[in-house]
Protein backbone atom coordinates (compact mmCIF):
# COMPACT_ATOMS: atom_id res chain seq x y z
CA UNK A 1 0.00 0.00 0.00
CA UNK A 2 1.26 3.48 -0.88
CA UNK A 3 2.21 5.92 1.82
CA UNK A 4 0.33 8.94 3.06
CA UNK A 5 1.55 12.39 2.05
CA UNK A 6 0.98 15.55 4.08
CA UNK A 7 0.79 18.53 1.71
CA UNK A 8 1.87 21.73 3.47
CA UNK A 9 1.08 24.97 1.65
CA UNK A 10 2.50 28.43 2.13
CA UNK A 11 0.72 30.96 -0.08
CA UNK A 12 -0.25 34.60 -0.10
CA UNK A 13 -2.12 35.17 -3.36
CA UNK A 14 -3.39 31.62 -3.85
CA UNK A 15 -1.20 30.60 -6.79
CA UNK A 16 0.80 28.17 -4.66
CA UNK A 17 -2.39 26.67 -3.25
CA UNK A 18 -3.65 26.04 -6.79
CA UNK A 19 -0.34 24.39 -7.70
CA UNK A 20 -0.48 22.21 -4.58
CA UNK A 21 -4.04 21.20 -5.41
CA UNK A 22 -2.96 20.09 -8.89
CA UNK A 23 -0.15 18.04 -7.33
CA UNK A 24 -2.54 16.49 -4.85
CA UNK A 25 -4.64 15.18 -7.73
CA UNK A 26 -1.54 13.65 -9.37
CA UNK A 27 -0.44 12.10 -6.07
CA UNK A 28 -3.85 10.57 -5.43
CA UNK A 29 -3.92 9.14 -8.95
CA UNK A 30 -0.69 7.32 -8.04
CA UNK A 31 -2.55 5.62 -5.17
CA UNK A 32 -1.32 7.74 -2.27
CA UNK A 33 -3.59 9.21 0.37
CA UNK A 34 -3.14 12.88 1.20
CA UNK A 35 -4.00 15.51 3.75
CA UNK A 36 -4.03 19.07 2.40
CA UNK A 37 -2.99 21.77 4.87
CA UNK A 38 -3.62 25.25 3.46
CA UNK A 39 -2.73 26.72 6.87
CA UNK A 40 -0.59 24.03 8.53
CA UNK A 41 -0.61 23.65 12.31
CA UNK A 42 2.06 21.39 13.80
CA UNK A 43 -0.22 19.39 16.16
CA UNK A 44 -2.43 18.48 13.18
CA UNK A 45 0.38 17.18 10.95
CA UNK A 46 1.52 13.55 11.18
CA UNK A 47 5.14 13.36 12.38
CA UNK A 48 6.02 10.39 10.18
CA UNK A 49 5.89 9.51 6.52
CA UNK A 50 6.12 12.12 3.79
CA UNK A 51 5.73 15.88 3.86
CA UNK A 52 5.42 17.80 0.59
CA UNK A 53 5.94 21.53 1.02
CA UNK A 54 4.68 24.01 -1.58
CA UNK A 55 6.09 27.29 -0.33
CA UNK A 56 5.97 30.77 -1.82
CA UNK A 57 8.45 33.42 -0.77
CA UNK A 58 6.79 36.64 0.35
CA UNK A 59 8.23 40.12 0.79
CA UNK A 60 11.94 40.19 1.56
CA UNK A 61 12.43 36.43 1.72
CA UNK A 62 9.78 35.65 4.33
CA UNK A 63 7.38 32.75 4.53
CA UNK A 64 3.91 33.31 3.14
CA UNK A 65 1.36 34.09 5.83
CA UNK A 66 -0.44 30.73 5.62
CA UNK A 67 2.67 28.75 6.63
CA UNK A 68 4.51 31.30 8.76
CA UNK A 69 3.00 30.05 12.02
CA UNK A 70 3.87 26.43 11.19
CA UNK A 71 7.49 27.33 10.54
CA UNK A 72 7.61 29.25 13.83
CA UNK A 73 6.23 26.15 15.59
CA UNK A 74 9.00 24.01 14.05
CA UNK A 75 11.62 26.57 15.06
CA UNK A 76 10.38 26.86 18.64
CA UNK A 77 9.37 23.27 19.41
CA UNK A 78 12.18 21.61 17.43
CA UNK A 79 10.40 18.25 17.02
CA UNK A 80 12.34 15.16 15.99
CA UNK A 81 11.61 14.79 12.28
CA UNK A 82 13.82 11.75 11.68
CA UNK A 83 10.70 9.78 10.66
CA UNK A 84 9.91 12.36 7.96
CA UNK A 85 10.90 12.19 4.32
CA UNK A 86 10.18 15.46 2.57
CA UNK A 87 10.20 17.31 -0.74
CA UNK A 88 9.89 21.02 -1.42
CA UNK A 89 8.59 23.16 -4.23
CA UNK A 90 9.80 26.72 -3.71
CA UNK A 91 8.03 29.45 -5.61
CA UNK A 92 9.47 32.89 -6.12
CA UNK A 93 10.26 35.75 -8.44
CA UNK A 94 13.85 36.00 -9.68
CA UNK A 95 13.66 39.79 -9.89
CA UNK A 96 14.14 39.69 -6.08
CA UNK A 97 17.48 38.80 -4.52
CA UNK A 98 15.59 36.64 -2.01
CA UNK A 99 14.34 34.36 -4.82
CA UNK A 100 12.82 31.18 -3.30
CA UNK A 101 14.33 31.99 0.11
CA UNK A 102 11.35 30.56 2.02
CA UNK A 103 11.81 27.20 0.28
CA UNK A 104 15.55 27.21 0.96
CA UNK A 105 14.93 28.08 4.61
CA UNK A 106 12.33 25.30 4.87
CA UNK A 107 14.83 22.80 3.46
CA UNK A 108 17.53 23.84 5.94
CA UNK A 109 15.17 23.82 8.93
CA UNK A 110 13.55 20.45 8.23
CA UNK A 111 16.94 18.83 7.60
CA UNK A 112 18.29 20.35 10.84
CA UNK A 113 15.43 18.62 12.69
CA UNK A 114 16.29 15.24 11.15
CA UNK A 115 14.04 15.22 8.08
CA UNK A 116 15.39 13.35 5.06
CA UNK A 117 15.02 14.98 1.63
CA UNK A 118 13.50 12.76 -1.06
CA UNK A 119 14.61 14.92 -3.99
CA UNK A 120 16.25 18.25 -4.77
CA UNK A 121 14.18 21.35 -4.10
CA UNK A 122 12.28 22.49 -7.18
CA UNK A 123 12.58 26.26 -7.56
CA UNK A 124 9.89 27.80 -9.76
CA UNK A 125 10.39 31.31 -11.10
CA UNK A 126 7.00 32.94 -11.56
CA UNK A 127 8.61 35.60 -13.76
CA UNK A 128 9.28 33.05 -16.49
CA UNK A 129 7.41 29.82 -15.77
CA UNK A 130 3.95 30.44 -17.17
CA UNK A 131 2.85 26.87 -16.46
CA UNK A 132 4.33 26.02 -13.05
CA UNK A 133 1.95 23.07 -12.70
CA UNK A 134 3.67 21.34 -15.64
CA UNK A 135 7.12 21.86 -14.11
CA UNK A 136 5.90 20.62 -10.73
CA UNK A 137 4.24 17.50 -12.16
CA UNK A 138 7.42 16.65 -14.11
CA UNK A 139 9.47 17.08 -10.92
CA UNK A 140 7.00 14.93 -8.95
CA UNK A 141 7.26 12.17 -11.57
CA UNK A 142 11.02 11.97 -10.96
CA UNK A 143 10.55 10.64 -7.42
CA UNK A 144 6.96 9.65 -6.63
CA UNK A 145 7.18 6.10 -8.03
CA UNK A 146 10.35 5.42 -6.03
CA UNK A 147 8.53 5.82 -2.72
CA UNK A 148 5.37 3.85 -3.53
pLDDT tens-digit series, residues 60-114: 889 999 999 999 999 999 999 999 999 999 999 888 889 999 999 999 999 999 9
The burial of 1, by beta-carbon neighbours within 10 Å (0-12 exposed, 13-18 middle, 19 or more buried), is given as: exposed
- Whether 146 is in a domain gets the answer no
Q: Model pTM? A: 0.94
Instruction: Tell whether 119 is covered by a domain.
Output: yes
109 within domain boundaries: yes
Q: How far is CA 24 from the centre of its chain?
A: 12
- Give the domain extent around 79: 4-141
In-domain check, residue 148? no
CATH number of 116's domain: 3.40.50.360
Q: Where residue 36 falls among pLDDT bands split at 50, 70, 90?
A: very high
Structurally, the chain folds into a number of domains equal to 1
What's residue 148's pLDDT?
A: 64
| Mean pLDDT for all residues in the chain | 93
Amino acid sequence: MAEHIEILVGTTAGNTEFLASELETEIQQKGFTTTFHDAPNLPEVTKQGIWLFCVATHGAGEYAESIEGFMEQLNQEKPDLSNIKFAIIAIGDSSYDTFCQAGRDTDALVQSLGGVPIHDVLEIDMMFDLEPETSAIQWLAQWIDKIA
